[in-house]
Amino acid sequence: MFVRLYSGEDGQSHFEAVDLPSDTVMHNGMEVAPGVNFRRFPADYFSDWHTAPRRQYIAVLSGTMEIGVGDGGTSRLGPGDVLLVEDLQGQGHTTRSVGGKPRVSVTIPLVSWAPWLPAGS
């Protein structure tokens, strides 16, 4: 559940339920901070081999995701689990929703805010 807390014209605070649209294309579901995305993936979602677009955290909010790597290994992540993604080159990984339920996650890009640190720090 996503809830918006906002100030109304009556000077009072109010709640509004916000839905994340669901379809086969990953996309932003609501207004978010620059680079941060909430995404809903269908229960049968599968993304073949790909690398990450940037260093980022992916936190699973609901459902279960399975990541596959080239040596045949897999890792499953569920609600509350966080994945640090850094495979920017090479074969990459696969991603799928498992467990028969849609998955919702938040992606948080990592940016270098300290210019004196070497790349990848």
Q: From the CB of residue 60, how many other CB atoms can be counted at a distance below 10 Å?
A: 19
Q: What's the pTM value of the predicted model, to 2 decimals?
A: 0.71
Per the CB < 8 A criterion, the answer to whether 107 and 65 are in contact is: no
Q: What is the pLDDT of residue 38?
A: 86
Select the CATH number that applies to the domain covering 22-109 from these four: 3.40.50.2000, 2.60.120.10, 2.40.70.10, 3.40.225.10: 2.60.120.10
**pLDDT tens, the chain, 121 aa long:** 566 767 778 877 777 777 766 644 344 455 556 778 888 999 999 999 998 888 888 899 999 999 999 888 899 999 999 988 888 888 889 999 999 999 999 998 987 655 555 555 5
> Which of 106, 104, 108, 1 is CA-nearest to residue 43?
104
Q: Count Cβ atoms within 10 A of the Cβ of residue 3 and give its class: 0-12 exposed, 13-18 middle, 19 or more buried.
A: exposed
Q: What is the pLDDT of residue 22?
A: 60
Burial 78-112 (b: 16+ CB within 10 A, else e): eeeeebebeeeeeebbbbbbbeeebbbbebeeeee
